[in-house]
Amino acid sequence: FNRINIEVLSVVAQQIMCIMAALSAKSSEFMFEGQMIKLKLTVGLFITMNPGYAGRTELPDNLKSMFRPISMMVPDNIIIAENLLFSDGFTNTRNLARKVFTLYELAKQQLSKQYHYDFGLRSMVALLRYAGRKRRQL
C-alpha cells in the first residue's frame, strides 16, 4: 500500500467496505464487482505500511477508519537462535546463539552487498535448522 495512488486506494476502500458489510451481515455469499463470491466468516483483512518510507502514500481517512494500527518490533535474533538451538537439544545455547548472531552480523557488514547474499533472519533460521538435523543424525 506504500506506493499506490490515492485514487486507487479510494477504490480499494470501497471494495473493502463491501467485504466488511458482508461480514457484518454474516453472509456466506455477497455481490462483489458484479459477481457472487463465497465468503468465509473467518477472513481477516490486514494492511502493511512502512512508516518513514520514501514515496509513501498516506491512507485515505475512509480506509484508515476501517483498521486498527499496530506496531511491529525488530525481532531479537539472538533469542530466536537460542530457542531454535535449545529445541534441537543443543547445550550452552546462549553462547552458541551469540556466536551465530555475531557471525551473521559480521558477514552482513563485511562481505559483498550483492542482493543474492542473504544474511538475514530467514537465512540464520535455515542454518540453525540444518545444524539441528545434523545433530539428530549423530
SS3 assignment, position 75: coil
Whole-angstrom distance, CA of residue 30 vs CA of residue 17: 12
- Over residues 67-115, the pLDDT tens digits come to 888 888 889 999 999 999 999 999 999 999 999 999 999 999 998 888 7
Residues in contact with 120: Cβ distance below 8 Å, sequence separation at least 6, in sequence order:
108
Global pTM value: 0.57
- Over residues 12-21, the pLDDT tens digits come to 888 999 999 9
Q: How much is the mean pLDDT over the chain?
A: 88
Report the Cα 8 to chain-centroid distance in Å.
23
